[in-house]
Amino acid sequence: MTDTALNTQQTEQLIEDILQAAREGDIQRLETLLRELVPEQVAEMLETTPPDLRHIIWAHVPSEYHGEVLAHLNDEVRTQLFETLDSQEIQDIADELETDDLVDLAQSLPEQDKSALLDALEEEERVEVEKAMAYPEDTAGGLMNTDVISVRADVTVETVLRYLRQLGELPDHLNDLIVRDRENHYLGVVRLTDLLTHEEDTLIEALLDASKPAVHVLTPVREVARLFEQNDWIDVAVVDSDNRILGRITIDDVVDIIREEAEHRQMAQAGLDEDEDIFAPPLVSARRRAFWLGVNLLTAVFAAWVASLFEDTLDKIVALALMMPIVASMGGIGGTQTATIIIRAMATGTLTSSNMRSLVMKEVTVGFLNGLLWAVLTGGFAWWWFGDLTLGIVFGAAILINLTVGAIAGALIPIILERFRIDPALASGLMLTTVTDTMGFFSLLGLATVIILHGSS
């Protein structure tokens, strides 16, 4: 890897050169070019490369990159590539990765591969990894690294500096040292800069910053990410219910969590899995996507059934057929805007029981006000287009109703799904579309039936 960082254009060209070398079988050039990328870039390239080239490239990735590359791959590709490794390569990965990365890797592997990885670890490290794996993957315990440097509050700066010199190497992203008592209870932190700028006979307790909290081992990773963002932390201690130190979480792991959350929300909106290999066999991908297509078909059939209840109205007022998709679309977009606000508030932790009612009412009010605006504009346009004032009023009223209902549904559906422990990002869009399509058809056709047909009879 070169010392000078590559810009985006250079990286793209380098990746293209790597792929070309793999296609041409130019192994020497391929191995040389691969060292120009960092492991994270290699992982991203492998995920977006067809399987035949992927395995050629993986076979020539520098062995010291293997662990970091695997740690940054999605689960499906990671499993495929891990299964190509021999026992020595697995041993090298076990020696290379830190505890938190080993935990992430082991948790994503099938049982046989997981056992192979754990068997390659030293006894002490295996115990630490298995201990961390006992905590749910989406909690601080599943994210933490047990490689912790902690010092007692009753020792001097000189003692700590001598201890650090004996270690020879410090963990990454270390700005503070964790301070504990004799029973390993968390007391706070001491900054490395304070160690270097105070007299050697100064006691650590005199430099102790007790204001920095630790996080509980069962804290959800989403909450951990929010705390890092709010407090600009580089790392934080993890403790159990008795305030005993178990490990630490560093910023690099939190960045990975934030990225994974963003990918999950983006893919979930289309009913897709972010851990799916984008080059999975067509039959496999088709089978995975068939379920949500089937669910979408059922919701569409339901909306069509609602429309069929007003078949006589449609036969007599053909213009309504042109208006139906407009009403449904407006409600869908308005509801999606509201749902996005609510889901984002959930993800960032800004939606709480104390402000939930206020935010829902605000979003419903926004939906109603937009409904009024577009009811006037679209109703007036329909009046001009069809030359029928009553039809314009019906169209405008349907827009108002559906935008308001869309806002209500967009606000409440994610909250309800969250209460039932269903991923709002995955199911909200489909449910919202069902509500707005059905209500759009029902309000437009129902109002037309009552006001135009029955009103003129």
Give CA angle at 375 (369, 380), nearest 5°. Answer: 140
Give the pLDDT confidence score for residue 430 in this predicted structure: 83
With cut-offs at 50, 70 and 90, classify the pLDDT of residue 272. low
Tell me which of 3.40.50.970, 1.10.10.10, 1.25.60.10, 3.20.20.60 is the CATH number of domain 8-134.
Answer: 1.25.60.10
Q: How far apart are CA 49 and CA 51, in angstroms?
A: 6
Domain 282-456 classification at class level: mainly alpha
Q: How far apart are CA 78 and CA 105, in angstroms?
A: 8
Is the separation of the CB atoms in 388 and 322 below 8 Å?
A: no
Give the pLDDT confidence score for residue 2 in this predicted structure: 44
Please tell me the pTM assigned to this model.
0.67
Give the pLDDT confidence score for residue 271 in this predicted structure: 59
Q: How far apart are CA 233 and CA 221, in angstroms?
A: 15
User: CA 119 → CA 72, 122, 127, 376, distances in Å?
Assistant: 22, 8, 11, 70
Is the separation of the CB atoms in 42 and 62 below 8 Å?
A: no
Give the pLDDT confidence score for residue 242 in this predicted structure: 96
Mean pLDDT of the 101-121 span: 86
Which residue's entry shows tokens 């959350």? 261
Is the separation of the CB atoms in 121 and 102 below 8 Å?
A: yes
Beta-ladder partners of 208 = none
Give the DSSP per-residue string, 28-40: HHHHHHHTTS-HH
Pairing of strands 235-239, 215-216: parallel
Q: How far apart are CA 425 and CA 407, in angstroms?
A: 16
Mean pLDDT of the 18-43 span: 92
> CB 231: neighbour CB atoms within 10 A?
11
Mean pLDDT of the 29-53 span: 91
Q: What is the CATH number of domain 150-268?
A: 3.10.580.10
Mean pLDDT of the 298-305 span: 87
- CA 35 vs. chain centroid, Å, equals 29
pLDDT > 80? residue 286: no
Is the separation of the CB atoms in 141 and 218 below 8 Å?
A: yes
Domains of the chain, residue spans: 8-134, 150-268, 282-456
User: CA 344 → CA 89, 265, 411, 454, distances in Å?
Assistant: 41, 10, 11, 45
Mean pLDDT of the 41-67 span: 91
